[in-house]
Structure formats: C-alpha cells, structure tokens
Amino acid sequence: MNDALLELSKVSKIYGDLHALDEVDLTVGRGEWVSIVGPSGSGKTTMMNIIGCMDHPTSGTVVLDNRDISEFSSFDLTQVRRETIGLIFQQFHLIPHLTAIENVMVSQYYHSMPDEQEARNALERVGLGDRATHLPRQLSGGEQQRVCVARALINSPKIVLADEPTGNLDANNEHIVLDIFGELHDEGTTLIVVTHDATVAAKAQREIRLDHGKVVEEIIHNDAPQVSSVLKEEK
Amino acid sequence: MRRKLFWRMVISSILRRRSRVLVAMLAVAIGATTLSGLATITIDVPRQMAREMRASGANMVLLPTGTNTSFSPTVIDEVTADIPRDQLIGVLGIDYEAVIINEMPYVAAGTDLNAAKATNPYWYVDGEWPSDAGQVLLGRDIATTIDAKAGDQVTLAVLADQSQGAASSRSSAQPSTPDDHGGSSDHSDHGSSDHSDHGSSDHSDHGSSDHSDHGSADSGQPNPEQENTGPAKNDDGKVISDQPVGNAAPNAGTQVTLTVSGILETGSSEDGFVYLWTKDMTSLTGTNPVVTVAELSVSAESNQLQELADQINAGHPEIHAQPVARLAHSDANILNMLRSLMVIITVIVLALIMIGVSTTMMAVVTERRTEIGLRKALGADNRSIVTEFLGEAVVLGMVGGIGGAGAGYGLAQLISLNVFHRTVMLHVEILLVTVAASVIVSTLASFIPVHRAVEVDPALVLRGE
C-alpha cells in the first residue's frame, strides 16, 4: 500500500484564460499535517475544492486513498467525500435551526446512521458536552468552530480539510482549536489546513506556499509535531 | 433514528422560516378551502338545486293509456306513495275539459288550486288565487278576449258532446274515492241535472268527431276560428283534452257561473286556460272527479327521472308516466354548467396555489443555498436533498390541506345556509381528497425549486458565499 494518502500530479484547473492551478504536484502522507498558504487568488480554494472532491481538475491526476478520482462522476465524488473527508470551514456553516448535537448528527445521517451517543462523545471531545442542545446562535464563535470540528470528525475521516479554521476566532479560541488539531494529528489523522495565519501554518509539519496557481515554496517545520507513533509503527 | 432526524430537520426548517412558510401554507389552506367547499357544494347542493329548480314547474306528467281519456285520482295517490317523500316537491291532478264561455270554446282545468299554486309558484296572478269553490282563475288571453277582470262573473258551459263523451269514456275510470271538493257545493245538483238532461242530446252532432286526428292539433289557446277539430294540447304537445274544441257547440243547460278572483299570466299556454276548483268542475261535468293529466314535480336529475317514470309505468298499466324532457334536460344542463364552473374555478385555484407554493419554495431554496451546499459537502446526494425538500412540501401541503379542508366544509355550510337555507353533509371522502390534493399540489409545485436545489454547487461553502 502506498503511504501517500493524497497525490496530485500535474494538476491544472483552467477557467478561460485563467490558470487557477498550473501543473501542481503535491503528495501528502498518511497522518501528515500540511498547511497551504498563499495570497488571495493563488489557487488555495481551487486546490481545496479538488482535494475535497467538489471539483474536477482540467488536467492531471488526483489519487486519494489509492483511487484516481480525477475522472469520477459527481455521484462518485460525493461518495468519496462522504467516506473519506471531513470538512471544517472558516464560517463554520452550522445549520442554524439544528442544535449542536443535531448538527453533528447530520454528518452521520449522510454517512451512515445517526447515533446520538457518538455525537455527544464527539462534542465532549471538543469540550462542548454541556452545550449539545444549544442552537448555533447560542454558541460563541469558538464553540461553533468546535462543533464544526466535531462534525468533521464524527465519521472518522481519513483526511480533514480545514479552510481558514481560525480565521474568525480570537486568540484563545484559536489556541483551543489548534490544540484539538494537535490531538487529531497525534491520533494519526491527516490534516490539510488552508490559512493566512503564519502561526497556524507553522503548526503544520509542512507548509506549502502557492502563488499564481503554482507551488512556489515548501517549508518543513522541524518544531512541528512529528508523525504520530502509530503511523511510525506502520512505516 | 434516521427517520426521526429527517423529520426533525424538516420540521425545524419549516418552523425557522415561519413567516415565509406560513404564506405558502396559507395559500395551500385557501386552495384547500376552495376545493373542499366547492366539492361539498358540487356534490351536496345539486340535490338542493334540483329541489329549488322544481319550483319552476312539473317535470313529469301522468297520462291515461289506451283509449281512456282519464284516470282515477286514487292512481296519483298510489304513484306518489312510491316516490321518496323528500324528492316529491308537488303533485297536481288536472281534469282538462272543453268549455264554452260567451259562446266561445276554451279549455278549463279542474284541479286543487292550492296544489297548483304550490307547484307553480312562478305563476303571476293579477288579483287573488281562488280561495274556495265558486271562484275561478282566468287566463290572460281569455280575460282579454271576453274583457273580464277580477271580481267579474263568468258563466262556463259544458260542451254538448262532452256530457255524452264523459259519460261513456269515464265509465271505466270511476274514482273509488271522491275528491274532497267533489261531494259538496250547491253546484252538484245543477251539474248532475244538466248532465242528465243534456248529456245525450247533442251527442249525435259532435260525439263522433274525429278523435283520431291528433297529429294536426295545434297547441296553446283554443281558437274558435281555427279549423282544427283535434284534441287540445299544451306547449309541450301534451294532449290536455280529447274534446274537439274547435267546432264544438255549447250545451246550454250544463253551466256554472263563477267569480273571477284573478287573471293568470304565465306567458305560456296557461294564459288560454280557465282554472277552477275540482268541485266546480264536477258540478259542470256532472261526474265524479277524474284526472286527465297529472303533473308531478320531482327532485331528480334527468336519468333518475326516466328511471322513476319506467318504474311507475311498470307498476301502473292504466297510466303512462313521461318526464317533461324540456325541463328535465334543462335542469341537467344547469347543474352540469354549475359543475363545470366549479371544476374550472377549482383548477384555477389549484394553479394559483401551485404558483404561490412554487414561489415560496423557490425563495426558500435561494435562502438556503449555503445550507444545501453544506449538506452536499457533508455527503448528501441529490436524492437526499430532493427527499428533504419534498418532505417539507408534504408537511406544508398536509397542514394547509387539513386546515383548508375543515374551513372548506365551514364555507360550504355557510354558502348553503345563506343561499339554499339548508345545511350540507360532512363528506369525509371530500376532506381526505382535499388533503391528498393539497399534498400533491404542493409537492408538484416544489419540483422546480427542488431542481434548483440539487444544482447547488457544494464548493460554494468553501468560497465563503
């Protein structure tokens, strides 16, 4: 089995004359924590869409969990997304008329079978066991983001994609969320985090800088958390 | 658990958009009210309408069969006993006889004038309806011809050949139970004596006149100048007297003098008739009461009326029951037109509901684009999205439909009470059909918005839209 969970080979996404991604090559190992940085319009979101199975590349191949998803239909991409990926958004995107626990269960609903106890455990893990029945508007920004993290984790995804996860959080909540990411990483969850925040980017093992649709820089952070022991044993 | 969460999502989504969904629900409820109300009225009111329309006159006649020119009033009792009480609006037995007034022949109708008034409420009478024997209702044409008005005295003489004809033809149709008006009155002596004195005297002159020449008979008022010697007929071509009124001559001895209480105006053949009480007619003819034509007003539609006529004909060979086609078809046409109108209104209302619901659902989809994108990003396939939106449409249709169906019954009740002064029945099947129709319509109306929903790109949640 290939140790790489994700492999992008010469992936391009072209809109008319605009090359949102231009022959990008990227490999992310299982259990790795990678951050993607770059200015607006650099292609971060386009890359996230392709990795997140929400868009097709114009050219190149995308292999996720040993499956080439480049030519998958929308229906198949939905299946892969449901089974493999957990998503965390900058704007949280919680369903406003559902409670925290129901928001977590929605992810279970589309994946398999809602389980209230599992959802409650996921909320307790992010420190929101006592806020399970609160509606999103009754939660702070940090709490909402933690619900979003619980929702992303509930189906035990192989890869977690986070788009500016701390972009709307204060320093304290940012710290809490990054701690949770650290725990996930320690448990062997693969993390890809898109961020503008240098602090957040520095938490990753590897930092990929995009500009004009190309990978222009790759930085290895030696002080970042190393690959989890579980992963090391597998290797 | 999955189903529970599904309905939790559907209900909470509806409750969260209360004001918007309330508008759509109200549209459905109004449509359901209209549908339920009109359906109730369409089903229940034609029966009421049929009764009301029966007030416009008789829709079935009973005529003697074979060579008989009349039949016994008891036959009417037997026939009406077989007709459901709530369907029988009125019945009128009439003895049409040719009479002479001022040496001119006319048709006299001897009947229960109270019943005639009840059966024909639209008849206009200038003056008063005759309240008792000795009073007569004169058709407008006759009144004009003889220059008579309410309060005047008129003398009716029986035709010379009629006394003989009546004596012979009615021998087989003697009533076993005399009419209430038949036994009394000071005219009886007069009538019977005249009848016996003159009944046979003129028979040789007129008794053999051509009764077979029915085909050339004209309708309406008898005219002394016409050459027609056939029996008198009314507007419907119905034979109302077998007497050859055209060239008849009076029997000077058989006559009664009556007071004109009112002048009858119907705009039809009745304007050429004299209406008198049965008692006066028996005085004039000198025989027991008989019926030459019976008119029935029955609350039934065209086909039901024909079935009833067939039933009467099978049970009473001495008479022939015949629906008055013109009226029966007219009733059916009016009811069909009303039904068509209600169907058209219902279709329009349902179309308007669809537009209302569709617009609201479209707005809901637009409002929820991000949420739909999120659900798809979380792994919802198109079928899940469609199911959720249609679930909302079903709830919307169900709640609106239940409320509207109940309100529709109330509306129908209100309309029926105010217009027909009767209540309508609660038809459970109408309520069920209304709720089902509401659910179907709101579901159909959601198809376009749902189609929009499944087209939402899940990537929009990553673009921060």
Q: How far apart are CA B255 and CA B259, in angstroms?
A: 13
Q: Name the strand (E) or helix (H) holding B364.
A: helix B325-367
Residue B462: pLDDT band by 50, 70, 90 thresholds?
low
Q: Do the chains contact at A111 and B375, CB–CB below 8 Å?
A: no
Q: Which of B193-207, B293-307, B402-416 is predicted with the least confidence, judged by mean pLDDT?
A: B193-207
Instruction: Provide the pLDDT confidence category of residue B193 given band limits of 50, 70 and 90.
Output: very low
Tell me the pLDDT tens digit for each residue of B46-56: 666 655 555 55
For B419, phi then psi, to 5°, come to -95, -45
Q: What's the whole-model pTM score? A: 0.59
Chain A residues touching B5 at Cβ < 8 A: 102, 105-106, 109, 114
Q: What is the pLDDT of residues A180-227, one digit of tens each?
A: 889 889 988 999 999 988 888 988 999 999 999 999 999 888 765 544
The proportion of chain B whose per-residue pLDDT surpasses 70, expressed as a percent, equals 74
Question: For residue A215, what are the β-bridge partners?
Answer: A210
| Residue A45 to residue B461, Cβ atoms within 8 A | no
pLDDT of residue B57: 64
B457: DSSP letter: -
pLDDT in tens, B316-327: 888 888 887 655
ipTM at complex level: 0.87
Q: Taking CB atoms and an 8 Å limit, are B371 and A98 in contact across chains?
A: no
Q: Can you give the pLDDT at residue A2? A: 55
A82 touches chain B (CB under 8 A): yes
DSSP labels for B147-192? Answer: T--TT-EEEEEEEHHHHHHHHHHGGG---SS--TTTS-STHHHHHH
Taking CB atoms and an 8 Å limit, are B463 and A45 in contact across chains?
Answer: yes
**Mutation test of the interface with chain B: which of A98, A116, A161, choosing the one with the most B Cβ atoms within 10 A?**
A98
Residue B164 has pLDDT above 80, yes or no: no
Indicate yes or no: CB of B371 within 8 angstroms of CB of A95: yes
Mutate which of B12, B14, B462, B465 to disrupt the A interface (most A C-beta within 10 Å)?
Answer: B462
Q: What is the mean pLDDT of residues A88-97?
A: 88
Q: What are phi and psi of B85, to 5 degrees?
A: -60, -40
Q: How confident is the model at residue B198 (pLDDT cuts 50, 70, 90)?
A: very low
Residue of A nearest to B382 (CA): A75
pLDDT category of residue B262 using cuts at 50, 70 and 90: very high
Q: Which residue has the higher pLDDT, B329 or B236?
A: B329
Closest A-chain CA to B371: A95
CB contact under 8 A, A54 and B12: no
Do A96 and B16 count as a contact with CB atoms less than 8 A apart? yes
- DSSP structure class, residue B27: H
Which comes out higher in pLDDT, residue B302 or B449? B449
Task: Please give the average per-residue pLDDT across B302-317, as a whole number.
Answer: 85
Instruction: State yes or no: pLDDT of B261 exceeds 90.
Output: yes
Is 70 exceeded by the pLDDT of residue B223?
no
> Which residues from chain A sit within 8 angstroms of residue B381, using beta carbons?
75, 78, 110
Say yes or no to pLDDT of B167 above 70.
no
- Distance between B388 CA and the closest CA of chain A, angstroms: 12
Query: Distance from A165 to chain B by nearest Cα, in Å?
Result: 11
* Answer CATH for A4-234 from 3.40.50.180, 3.40.50.300, 3.90.1310.10, 3.20.20.70: 3.40.50.300
Picking from A52, A110, A113, the nearest residue to B1 by CB comes out as A113
Which of A89-98, A180-189, B138-147, B417-426 shows the lowest mean pLDDT across its residues?
B417-426
Provide the pLDDT for residue B173.
Answer: 32
Q: Which residue has the higher pLDDT, B119 or B237?
A: B119
Percentage of the residues of chain B whose pLDDT score is greater than 90 = 11
Task: Please state, in angstroms and as integers, the Cα–Cα distance from residue B260 to each residue in A84, B95, B140, B150, B277, following that order.
Answer: 104, 19, 12, 5, 12
Helix (H, G, I), strand (E, B) or coil at B50: helix
Among A189-193, B21-25, B83-87, B174-178, where is mean pLDDT lowest?
A: B174-178
| Calpha distance A147→B325 (Å, rounded) | 79
Q: Do A89 and B462 touch (CB under 8 A)?
A: yes
Q: What angle do CA A156, A158, A161 make, to 5 degrees?
A: 100
Contact at CB, B6 and A113, closer than 8 angstroms: no
- CB contact under 8 Å between A75 and B16, yes or no, is no
Q: How confident is the model at residue B286 (pLDDT cuts 50, 70, 90)?
A: confident
* pLDDT tens sequence across A33-61: 999 999 888 889 889 999 999 888 999 99
Indicate the angle between helix axes B160-169 and B187-198, nearest 10 degrees.
Answer: 90
For the segment B167-191, the average pLDDT, to the nearest whole number, is: 34
For testing the chain B interface, which of A45, A53, A56, A97 should be mutated: the one with the most B CBs within 10 Å? A97
Are β-strands A206-211 and A190-194 bridged in parallel, bridged antiparallel, or unpaired?
unpaired
Indicate the residue of B15, B462, B464 with minimum beta-carbon distance to A52: B462
Closest-CA residue in chain A for B16?
A: A97
Of A49, A82, A109, the CB nearest to B5: A109
Instruction: Report the distance separating Cα A16 and Cα B437, nearest Å.
Output: 49
Beta bridge partners of A87: A161
Q: CA B202, CA A195: separation in Å to the nearest integer?
A: 127
Minimum distance, in Å, between the CA of residue B86 and any CA atom of chain A: 58
Minimum-distance CB partner of A48 among B1, B12, B462: B462
pLDDT confidence tier of residue B76, bands split at 50, 70 and 90: confident
CB contact under 8 A, B462 and A45: yes
Give CA–CA dist B144/B39, Å, rounded: 50
With 0-12 / 13-18 / 19 or more C-beta atoms within 10 angstroms meaning exposed / middle / buried, residue B85 is exposed
Note whether A98 contacts B8, CB cutoff 8 Å.
Answer: yes
What angle, rounded to 10 degrees, do the helices at B428-445 and B325-367 form? 40
Residues of B in contact with A55 (CB under 8 A): 459
Query: Quick one: which of B102, B98, B99 has its CA closest to B143?
Result: B102
3-state secondary structure chain A: CCCEEEEEEEEEEEECCEEEEEEEEEEEECCCEEEEECCCCCCHHHHHHHHCCCCCCCEEEEEECCEECCCCCHHHHHHHHHHHEEEECCCCCCCCCCCHHHHHHHHHHHHCCCCHHHHHHHHHHCCCHHHCCCCHHHCCHHHHHHHHHHHHHCCCCCEEEEECCCCCCCHHHHHHHHHHHHHHHHCCCEEEEECCCHHHHHCCCEEEEEECCEEEEEEECCCCCCCCHHHHHHC
- Whether residue B178 has pLDDT greater than 60: no
Q: Give pLDDT, residue B267.
A: 80
A126-181 pLDDT, tens per residue? 888 899 999 999 999 889 999 999 999 898 899 999 998 888 888 888 888 888 88
Q: What is the mean pLDDT of chain B?
A: 75
Per residue in B332-352, pLDDT tens? 677 778 778 888 888 888 888
User: Is pLDDT at A229 greater than 90 in this prediction?
Assistant: no
With an 8 Å Cβ cutoff, are A107 and B378 in contact?
yes
Q: Which residues from chain A sit within 8 angstroms of residue B463, using beta carbons? A: 45
In tens, the pLDDT along B354-399 reads 888 888 888 888 888 888 888 999 989 888 899 988 888 899 899 9
Least confident of B9-23, B39-53, B296-310: B39-53
User: Is residue B100's pLDDT more than 50?
Assistant: yes
Cβ B232 vs Cβ B240: under 8 Å: yes
Domain boundaries, chain A: 4-234
- How many pairs of residues across A and B have Cβ atoms under 8 Å apart? 81
CB distance B379 to A78 below 8 Å: yes
- The distance of A166 to chain B (nearest Cα, Å) reads 14
Q: Are A208 and A35 in contact (CB under 8 A)?
A: yes
Per-residue pLDDT, B53: 54
Give the highest mean pLDDT range of A47-61, B2-16, B284-298. A47-61
Asked whether residue B139 carries a pLDDT value surpassing 70, the answer given is yes
